[in-house]
Amino acid sequence: MPSDGDVDALRSAVHACRGCELWAPATQPVFSAGPDPAALMLVGEQPGDVEDRDGEPFVGPAGRLLDEALGAAGVDRSGVYLTNAVKHFRFEERGARRLHKKPGVAHVEACRPWLAAELARVAPGVVVCLGATAARAVIGHDVRVTEVRGTVVGETGDGVPVLVTAHPSAVLRLRGKEGYRAALDGLVEDLRRAAALLRPA
Ligand code: URA
């Protein structure tokens, strides 16, 4: 972990990370996208199958849904810093398929120094955690997303408000089912709320 340097220096250094075992089966680490500094920082869980192959966060199906939600909330994705709590894809092989496996607490903890270094460099005005894993990584304890979504659940060590919302994959799982529209609208509303926190009242 470089003690100085910008996000690009972190992005280069993460290729040598052996902080946990997830680096070995993964194609590559997936660091972040977006400008630094940035007013709004979004934290996801871990890269998915597409992200693992492309090396970029949120470029697969969940990323497309996130783009749609950001657009509907009036937030320009190109101005947002997007990252994940865990930088390597954790998966289980089933034949030719690689199935997403939720990262464990040890993976989140092992990856936390990267997230802390990003927070310091990006210096956001608001952090949005997409789902429970991101919330755990940023605020250090578990939350129930269904209970706290859309609210500020705490602050980073630097006093930056942390808002929690649903993970786009959780919304995606409802597609074609009852509740999809409400879940997507909820995500849009939470992103709108996060953007509003950046504006003086
Ligand atoms: N899900 C995440 O949490 N992050 C990604 O980058 C892609 C899917």
DSSP states of 96-148: TEEEE-PPPHHHHHHHHHHHHHHHHHH--SEEEEESHHHHHHHHSS---HHHH
Q: Is residue 3 pLDDT above 90, yes or no?
A: no
pLDDT digits (tens, 9 = 90+) for 121-144: 999 999 999 999 999 999 999 999
Residue 200 has pLDDT above 80, yes or no: no
Is 58 near ligand 1, meaning CB less than 6 Å away? yes
Residue 201's pLDDT is what? 67
Model pTM?
0.97
Q: What φ, ψ does residue 50 adopt, rounded to 5°? A: -65, -40
The alpha carbon of 170 and the centre of ligand 1 are apart by a number of angstroms equal to 11
CA of 152 to the centre of ligand 1 (A): 21
Rounded to the nearest 5°, which phi and psi values hold at 179?
A: 100, -10
- How many alpha carbons lie under 13 Å from residue 55 in its C-beta half-sphere? 6
Report helix, strand or coil for 188.
helix
Architecture (CATH level 2) of domain 7-197: 3-Layer(aba) Sandwich (3.40)
Q: Where are the domains of the chain?
A: 7-197
* Percent residues over pLDDT 90 in the chain: 96
pLDDT at 75: 98
Distances (CA, A) of 58 to 18, 44, 68, 144, 170: 23, 8, 12, 23, 14
| Cβ pair 89, 47 in contact under 8 A | yes
Instruction: Assess whether pLDDT exceeds 80 at residue 149.
Output: yes
